[in-house]
């Protein structure tokens, strides 16, 4: 299943947040969306997943949803969004309960995704007992459990410290190499974008417009060997964003 964004614009009252965004995502591709703060990255992601209606434009699903997919467009949130009163297992079950699976199927799915995210021994822990990195792994496991066609990741690593972020980034690369998922990945961290993105969409400051789309052709699992090239890309992106970021920083919020 591919996704096509058709001339999406969005305003909050008089404030225009997104302007004329057209974009495609293809199967097994990670599209990173970067831009200065307040440029509407997260709003765009909410629009893509149907949590918010754009003022103009459409999000179109191209092709059929795979048969075993329970929830085609699945989010991973910055703040993990785990229910604190449910265990790790219970949090994953929450996403499955709605789909009328048998208890055995549900158990099988849960232990499968826990194993894939290396969480098997924490099945009965409560979120408060887990570190930030572990919580995000639970959220990733929950997302995987519904076999999404496209994952919508809203700054998934931004709430984590830099060491945990490195580890989790490696996990995501591993996961992509093994299973190849499709994802929109919103971030403000350019290093994440060049490590994980096949396509990097650079948005301008508010109202967010596409400034450029940068493609990186190096396969994800070989990127560590091309550190220099990535650094050049990252610098190129930063040069593009620098002034926008500076201007965005000096804007008054209520403007």
Partner 1 sequence: MDKAATTQTTKSIQNNAPDNFSARPVPFRGGGFQPKPIRGVAPFVFIGLIAFWEFGSQTGFISSLVLPAPSEAFQAFRELIESGMLLIHLSASMQRLLIGWICGTTLGIIVGLMIGLSSIARAGLSPLVSAIFPIPKIALLPLFIIWFGIGEGSKVATILFGTFFPTVITTYGGVDNVDRNLIRMGQSFGLSWSSIVKKIIFPGALPAILSGCRISGSIAIILLVAAEMIGAEFGIGAYILLAGSLFATDQLIAGVAILSTMGLCFAWLIGRAEKYFLNWRT
Is the alpha carbon torsion for 226, 229, 233, 238 positive or negative?
positive
> Side-chain half-sphere of 112: how many Cα atoms within 13 Å?
11
How far apart CA 194 and CA 184 sit, in angstroms, is: 14
Q: Are strands 56-62 and 2-12 parallel, antiparallel or unpaired?
A: antiparallel
Q: How far is the CB of 143 from partner 1 (least distance, A)?
A: 9
Give the start-end residues of each E strand in 136-224. 150-154, 183-186, 199-203, 210-215
Q: Tell me if 240 contacts partner 1 by CB under 8 A.
A: no
Quick one: which of 3, 146, 151, 183 contacts partner 1 (CB under 8 A)?
A: 146
If one asks whether residue 126 binds partner 1 (CB under 8 A), the answer comes out as yes
Give burial (CB, 10 Å; 0-12/13-18/19+) of 151.
buried
Here the tokens at position 23 are: 């974009």
Looking at the Cβ atoms of 85 and 238, the one nearer to partner 1 is 85
Judged by CB under 8 A, which of 43, 74, 187, 204 binds partner 1? Answer: 74
Q: Are 28 and 21 in contact (CB under 8 A)?
A: no
Determine, following the binding rule CB under 8 A, whether residue 49 of this chain makes contact with partner 1: yes
Q: Is 81 in the site for partner 1 (CB under 8 A)?
A: yes
User: Least separation, in Å, of the C-beta of 79 and partner 1?
Assistant: 6
Judged by CB under 8 A, the stretch of 5-13, 34-42, 77-85, 179-187 that binds partner 1 is: 77-85
Of the candidates 56, 97, 221, 243, which one interacts with partner 1 according to CB under 8 A?
97
Q: Which residues bind partner 1 (CB under 8 A)?
A: 49, 51, 70-71, 73-75, 77, 79, 81, 83-86, 94-95, 97-98, 126-128, 142, 146
């Amino acid at each position: 299943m591919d996704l096509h964004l058709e001339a999406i614009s969005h305003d909050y009252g008089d404030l225009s947040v997104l302007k004329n965004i057209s974009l495609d995502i293809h199967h097994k591709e990670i599209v990173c969306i970067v831009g200065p703060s307040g440029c509407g990255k997260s709003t765009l992601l909410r629009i893509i997943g149907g949590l918010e209606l754009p003022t103009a434009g459409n999000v179109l699903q191209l092709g059929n949803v795979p048969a075993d997919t329970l929830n085609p467009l699945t989010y991973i949130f910055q703040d993990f969004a785990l229910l604190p009163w449910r265990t790790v297992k219970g949090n994953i079950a929450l996403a499955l309960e709605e789909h009328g699976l048998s208890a055995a199927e549900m158990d099988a799915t849960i232990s499968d995704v826990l194993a894939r995210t290396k969480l098997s021994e924490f099945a009965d822990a409560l979120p408060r007992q887990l570190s930030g990195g572990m919580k995000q792994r639970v959220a990733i496991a929950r997302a995987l459990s519904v076999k999404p066609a496209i994952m919508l990741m809203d700054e998934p690593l931004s709430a984590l410290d830099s060491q945990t972020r490195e580890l989790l980034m490696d996990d995501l690369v591993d996961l992509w190499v093994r299973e190849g998922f499709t994802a929109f990945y919103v971030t403000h961290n350019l290093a994440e974008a060049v490590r994980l993105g096949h396509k990097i969409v650079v948005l301008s400051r508010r109202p967010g417009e596409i400034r450029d789309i940068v493609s990186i052709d190096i396969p994800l699992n070989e990127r560590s060997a091309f550190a220099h090239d990535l650094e050049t890309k990252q610098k190129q992106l930063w040069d593009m964003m620098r002034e926008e970021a500076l201007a965005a920083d000096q804007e008054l919020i209520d403007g």
